[in-house]
Amino acid sequence: MRSGYLNSQGADTVIFDHVSVQAEDVYELRRELSNLLDKQKESVLGSFLEELIFELDAWVEEHPPEEPEVVDWKVTCSEENAVKFSDWIDHRGGLALWESANLGNSGAGWTTPARQEDGISTAPPTWEAKKNPSHIITNPDHVCVSIDKEVDRFPVAIRAGSGLQYECTAGSTKKIELALERAGEGSYYEFDYYTQEAVIMAPKKRMSLTAWFARDDDEL
Write out pLDDT tens, residues 29-67: 777 777 777 777 777 787 778 888 888 788 777 777 665
pLDDT in tens, 86-144: 999 999 999 999 999 988 888 889 999 999 998 899 999 999 999 998 989 999 999 99
**Cβ-Cβ contacts under 8 Å for 149 (sequence gap 6 or more):** 201, 202, 204
Whether 77 and 145 have beta carbons less than 8 Å apart is answered as yes
Q: Are 145 and 206 in contact (CB under 8 A)?
A: yes
Q: What percent of the chain has pLDDT over 70?
A: 83
List the alpha helices (DSSP H) in the chain: 26-40, 44-62, 79-91, 170-183, 209-214
More confident residue, 73 or 118: 118
First to last CA, the chain: 34
pTM value surpassing 0.85:
no
Q: What residues contact residue 135 under an 8 Å CB cut-off, 6+ apart?
A: 74, 75, 95, 96, 97
Tell me: the pLDDT tens digits for 139-181? 999 999 999 999 999 999 988 877 777 788 999 999 999 999 9
